C-alpha cells in the first residue's frame, strides 16, 4: 500500500539523514528514485525550490513527493513520518540529559561541548559567506555587492541590535536591488 | 534545574505564544537549519527569556549530533524544555507549518517548478544577511561560554577542524565532550586533593 511505503521511506530518511540538508540531499534523491516517485530533473528542481522557501530539504521533499504520490494526505503523512525519528530521539536524549544535568561528569562534558558548538555555528557562518559574498572567480574573491549586504547586516545586528527577522527580510530586498 | 518540571507551566497562552514564535522562526529559516539559531536566540532567548543562552547552545549541540533534521530537532528540544511534550508538539508544528503550506501550494499550482533570477538574487542577499546574523550570535554566545584558555583552544581547534578540514560534526562534538570531561575532571581532582 503506497501510504505505508511513503511513511516507511520518509521515516527512514528522517532517521538516517545526518549532518543537515546538503548531506541528506543525495540520500533523499536515491531513496525517492528507487521508489520511482521522482525523476532526477524533478528532484533538482525541488532542491532548488527548497533553497528559496522556508524549511529544510527533507521536509520540503516529503511535502512535495507526498502530494505527488498520494495527494494532501500523502503530503501530511510523509511530512509527519520524516519528523517522527527526530521526535523520539531528541526527547529520549533530553530526558536523559535532564536527569543527569546536576552531575559533575555531565557538567564537565557539557563545558567541553559548548565552546565546540559555538565553533561549529561559526563555521556555518563561513558556509553562508561562501554561498553569498565569497566568489573564487572574482578578483580578491569577493562579490562586493553581497559583501556590502553582509557588512550592513552585521552592523545592524551586532551594533544596533536590529530585529533578526527584519534583517533577513531587508537582506532579501537588498539582494534584488543591489545584485 | 529540576528534572521533571517544565520551565513554564502548561498554559494555553504560553503554548499559543510558542506556536506563533516558532511559526515565525520556521518561516524565516531559509537555506539551512543553522540559519535558525540567530532567529531562535533573538526570539526565544532575548525577547521572551524562555530559555537562557547556555541552554540554546545545548539545544544546538544535541540537534546537530543526533540524526534527523536540525531545525526540527532544535524546535523539539526547546519546546520540550519550555512546556513538556505538548510544548514540543506545538513548537514542531509551528516550525514545519510555513514550509508545509508553501510547498503544498507550489505542488498544487505548479506541476513543473523552476528557478527565477529575482528569487536567486533575493536568496543571495538572504545568505549574506544570514552570515551576518550568525556572526552576531556567535559573538554573543561565545562570550557566554568561552571563559577560559581551555575553552578558547577547544573553540579554535573545533573551528579549524570543521571549517577547514570538514571533519564530521558528530566526531567534533563527541571529541569536545570527551576533552571537556577529562580536563574538568582532572582539574577538579587537582583542586580537591590537599
CB–CB contact A67 B108 (8 Å):
yes
The band of A22, judged by pLDDT with boundaries at 50, 70 and 90, is low
- Cα B141 vs. chain centroid, distance in angstroms? 12
Question: What pLDDT score does B1 carry?
Answer: 38
Residues in B closer than 8 angstroms to A122, CB to CB, are 134-135, 138, 142, 159, 163
Question: What pLDDT score does B164 carry?
Answer: 82
Q: What is the largest CA-CA distance in chain A?
A: 56
d(CA B187, CA A167): 43
Sequence-ordered list of residues with C-beta below 8 angstroms from that of B164, at least 6 positions apart, any chain: none
3-state secondary structure A123-138: HHHHHHHHHHCECCCC
Which of B67, B134, B176 lies at the smallest CB-CB distance from A116? B176
Residues in B closer than 8 angstroms to A131, CB to CB, are 31, 124, 127
Please give the angle made by the CA atoms of B145, B151 and B185, to the nearest 5 degrees.
100
| Per-residue pLDDT at B19 exceeds 90 | yes
pLDDT digits (tens, 9 = 90+) for B104-159: 988 887 765 555 667 677 777 888 888 888 888 889 888 888 888 999 999 999 99
Measured between CA atoms, the residue of chain B closest to residue A53 is B30
Q: A69-73, B108-112, B164-168: which range is least confident on average?
A: B108-112
d(CA B81, CA A78): 26
Which of A58, A152, A179 lies at the smallest CB-CB distance from B121? A179
Strand-pairing partners, residue A142, are A134
CB–CB contact B3 A98 (8 Å):
yes
pLDDT more than 70, % of chain B: 88
CB–CB contact A55 B176 (8 Å):
no
CB–CB contact B170 A18 (8 Å):
yes
Q: Decide which of A53 and A112 is more confident.
A: A112
Instruction: Locate A36 and state its grid cell.
Output: 520511482
Please give the angle made by the CA atoms of A60, A44 and A146, to the nearest 5 degrees.
85
CB–CB contact B26 A116 (8 Å):
no
Question: What pLDDT score does B8 carry?
Answer: 57
CA nearest neighbour of A94 among A105, A106, A83, A104: A106
CB–CB contact A114 B73 (8 Å):
no
Q: B49-63, B87-101, B117-131, B144-158: which range is least confident on average?
A: B117-131
Which of B1, B63, B113, B128 should be substituted to probe chain A, the one whose Cβ sees the most A Cβ atoms within 10 Å?
B128
Question: A119 near B158, Cβ under 8 Å?
Answer: yes
Question: B126 near A168, Cβ under 8 Å?
Answer: yes
CB–CB contact B125 A104 (8 Å):
no
CB–CB contact B113 A46 (8 Å):
yes
Distance (Å) of CA A53 to CA A48, A68, B35, B38: 9, 18, 13, 18
Report, as an integer, the average pLDDT of A7-28.
76
Which of B81, B102, B128 lies at the smallest CB-CB distance from A153? B128
Report, as an integer, the average pLDDT of B25-42.
83
Measured between CA atoms, the residue of chain A closest to residue B134 is A125
Question: A103 near A110, Cβ under 8 Å?
Answer: no
CB–CB contact A168 B58 (8 Å):
no
d(CA A116, CA A120): 6
Which of A85, A114, A176 lies at the smallest CB-CB distance from B68? A85
Question: What pLDDT score does B3 carry?
Answer: 39
Question: What pLDDT score does B29 carry?
Answer: 84
CA nearest neighbour of A120 among B154, B76, B44, B130: B154
Report, as an integer, the average pLDDT of A32-42.
81
| Per-residue pLDDT at B24 exceeds 70 | yes
Which of B70, B71, B128 lies at the smallest CB-CB distance from A133? B128
Which of A11, A91, A171 should be substituted to probe chain B, the one whose Cβ sees the most B Cβ atoms within 10 Å?
A171
Strand-pairing partners, residue B30, are A54
Question: What pLDDT score does A75 carry?
Answer: 94
CA nearest neighbour of B88 among A93, A165, A115, A2: A93
SS3 A28: helix
Question: What pLDDT score does A178 carry?
Answer: 83
Please give the angle made by the CA atoms of A94, A108 and B76, to the nearest 5 degrees.
20
- Report ipTM for this prediction: 0.81
d(CA A133, CA A149): 9
CB–CB contact A90 B77 (8 Å):
yes
d(CA B66, CA A89): 7
- pTM as predicted: 0.79
* Chain mean pLDDT for chain A: 85
Question: What pLDDT score does B140 carry?
Answer: 87
Amino acid at each position: 500500500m503506497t501510504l505505508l511505503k511513503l511513511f516507511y521511506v520518509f521515516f527512514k530518511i528522517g532517521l538516517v539523514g545526518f549532518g543537515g540538508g546538503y548531506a541528506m540531499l543525495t540520500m533523499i534523491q536515491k531513496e525517492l528514485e528507487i521508489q520511482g516517485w521522482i525523476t532526477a530533473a524533478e528532484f533538482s528542481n525541488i532542491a532548488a525550490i527548497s533553497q528559496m522557501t522556508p524549511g529544510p530539504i527533507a521536509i520540503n521533499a516529503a511535502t512535495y513527493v507526498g502530494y505527488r504520490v498520494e495527494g494532501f494526505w500523502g503530503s501530511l503523512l510523509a511530512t509527519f513520518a520524516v519528523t517522527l525519528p527526530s521526535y523520539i530521539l531528541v526527547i529520549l536524549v533530553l530526558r536523559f540529559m535532564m536527569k543527569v544535568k546536576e552531575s559533575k561528569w555531565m557538567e564537565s562534558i557539557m563545558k567541553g561541548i559548548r565552546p565546540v558548538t559555538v565553533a561549529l555555528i561559526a563555521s556555518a557562518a563561513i558556509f553562508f559567506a561562501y554561498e553569498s559574498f565569497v566568489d573564487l572567480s572574482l578578483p580578491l574573491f569577493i562579490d562586493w555587492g553581497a559583501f556590502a549586504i553582509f557588512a550592513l547586516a552585521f552592523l545592524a545586528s551586532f551594533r544596533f541590535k536590529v530585529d533578526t527577522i527584519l534583517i533577513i527580510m531587508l537582506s532579501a530586498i537588498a539582494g534584488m536591488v543591489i545584485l | 534545574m529540576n528534572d521533571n518540571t517544565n520551565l513554564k507551566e502548561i498554559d494555553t497562552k504560553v503554548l499559543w505564544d510558542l506556536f506563533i514564535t516558532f511559526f515565525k522562526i520556521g518561516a524565516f529559516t531559509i537555506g539551512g537549519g543553522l540559519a535558525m539559531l540567530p532567529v531562535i536566540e533573538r526570539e526565544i532567548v532575548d525577547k521572551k527569556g524562555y530559555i537562557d543562552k547556555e541552554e540554546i547552545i545545548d539545544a544546538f549541540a544535541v540537534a546537530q549530533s543526533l540524526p534527523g533534521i536540525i531545525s526540527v530537532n532544535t524546535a523539539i528540544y526547546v519546546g520540550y524544555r519550555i512546556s513538556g511534550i505538548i510544548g514540543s508538539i506545538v513548537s514542531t508544528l509551528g516550525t514545519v507549518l510555513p514550509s508545509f503550506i508553501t510547498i503544498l501550494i507550489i505542488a498544487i499550482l505548479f506541476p513543473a517548478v523552476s528557478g527565477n533570477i529575482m528569487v536567486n538574487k533575493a536568496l543571495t542577499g538572504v545568505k549574506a544577511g544570514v552570515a551576518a546574523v550568525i556572526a552576531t550570535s556567535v559573538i554573543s554566545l561565545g562570550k557566554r561560554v568561552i571563559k577560559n584558555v581551555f575553552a578558547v583552544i577547544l573553540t579554535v581547534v573545533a573551528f579549524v577542524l570543521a571549517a577547514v578540514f570538514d571533519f564530521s560534526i558528530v566526531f567534533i562534538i563527541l571529541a569536545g565532550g570527551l576533552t571537556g570531561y577529562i580536563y574538568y575532571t582532572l582539574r577538579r581532582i587537582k583542586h580537591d586533593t590537599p
